Amino acid sequence: MAEGDSIARLAARLDSGTAGCVITVCDVRHPRFATADLAGQRILGWAPRGKHLLMRTDAGITVHSHLRMSGRWTVLGAGKRLPRTVAARLRIAMRLHDDRTLAGIDLPVLTLVRTGDEHRVVGHLGPDLLDASTATDEGLARAAARVVAAGAQPAVAALLDQRRVAGLGNMWAQELLFLHGVDPWRPASATDPAPLLADARRRLRHAVDHDPSQNTTGRRSPRHWVYGRARRPCLRCATPIAFAEAARTPHGRETWWCPGCQH
C-alpha cells in the first residue's frame, strides 16, 4: 500500500505533467461513474491528502482516488494507448489536448465529486503529516492528542488509523516505533507520540524531496530496521525480530518489532 510520501511524490509528478491540460476524451470504466464525462474540462492540479489523491478541474469537479495495493496512475506519450489487457479493467482514461493519455488503472477507490464536496471523501482524515498545518508545534500537538485519544488501542494501530493522523503506512509506522523504542502493543494512551510524529514529518518530507527509497537505516542493506525482517537479528541488539501475522493482530496488519529494543 502506498505511503503518504509516495502519494505526495506522485501528486507532484502528475501536477507538473498535466496541470493546465484540457481533457478531450474521457472514458470511465467504473460501475458508479460509467456515464461521467470530463471532456472539455481543464485540469487545475493535483493534491495529496494523506494516502488519498485529488485531481481538480476548472468545472469544479474532483477525481478522488486511493491506490491501496493495486492502483496506479500513468501518463502515456502522444499516440500511445492502453494495452487491451488493461482496457477492460477498472480505470479512468483521459485523452489530453496534446494527444497524451492520463490513466488511472486498477483503482480500488475512485469517486467523482464536486470540489466543494471533497469533505465527503477526505473529511474523515486526521491531520496530514505532510500538510503545512502540522509544521507548527500546535499542529503536531493536535495530531499527537488524536493518537493518545485511541486509549487502550495498540500504538501501532493508532498510528495506522488515518482518522487520527494521515499519511503513515505500515512501513513508516513500524520503523518509527522501533526508532523511538516504543512497543507496538503499548496502549496509545500510555505513549508520548509527539516526538515520534515530529520525526515522522521530517522523514516523510525528506523522502518526498530527496529519498524515494524510504531508507530508514541509512545503509545500503538492509534498508529497514524491523519491517520485513522477521526472525533476523536486530541491527542494534541482535535479538531476533518478532513478527505477528495480519490475522493475529487487532488492526489486521503484519507487524514486526524488536523485543529487546522496544520494551
Q: Verify that 136 and 252 share a domain, yes or no.
A: yes
What pLDDT sits at residue 246? 95
The H-or-E segment that residue 256 falls in is: strand 255-257
Same domain, 137 and 169: yes
Rounded Cα distance between 4 and 11, Å, is 11
Chain segment 223-232, per-residue pLDDT in tens: 999 999 999 9
Q: For the chain, how many structural domains are there in total? A: 2
Do 241 and 167 sit in the same domain of this protein? yes
Helix, strand, or coil here: 247?
helix
- Do 105 and 30 sit in the same domain of this protein? yes
Is the predicted pLDDT of residue 139 greater than 70, yes or no? yes
Give the CATH number of the domain where residue 24 resides: 3.20.190.10
Torsion angle in degrees (nearest 10) through CA of 40, 59, 6, 79:
0
- pLDDT band for position 31 (cuts 50, 70, 90): confident
Please report the pLDDT score of residue 8 as a whole number.
96
In 3D, which of 107, 32, 102 has the Cα closest to residue 67?
107
Mean pLDDT of 252-262: 97
211 vs 51, higher pLDDT: 51
Distance CA 84, CA 232 (A): 43
3-state secondary structure of 215: coil
At residue 101, does pLDDT exceed 80? yes
CA distance 184 to 248: 14
CATH number of the structural domain spanning residue 239: 1.10.8.50
Report the candidate in 47, 76, 13 with the shortest Cα–Cα distance to residue 166: 47
Mean pLDDT of the chain: 94
The reply to whether 148 and 170 lie within a common domain is yes
Which segments of the chain does DSSP mark as H helices, in order?
4-18, 84-87, 119-122, 137-148, 155-160, 170-179, 193-209
Domain boundary among 64, 91, 122: 122
- The x, y and z cell numbers of residue 27, run together, are 472514458
61 and 31 inside one domain: yes
> Does residue 115 fall inside a structural domain?
yes
Compute how many other C-beta atoms are within 10 angstroms of the C-beta atom of residue 201: 23
Whether 20 and 136 share a structural domain = no
Give residue 219's pLDDT. 93
Residue 88: pLDDT band with limits 50, 70, 90: low
Does the residue 218 lie in any domain? no
109 & 169 share domain: no
Residue that finishes a domain, picked among 95, 122, 149? 122
Range of the domain at 248: 132-213+230-257
Based on the domain organization, do 150 and 184 belong to the same domain?
A: yes
Question: Percent of the chain, pLDDT > 70?
Answer: 98
Please compute the mean of the pLDDT values over residues 160-186 and round it to a whole number.
Answer: 97
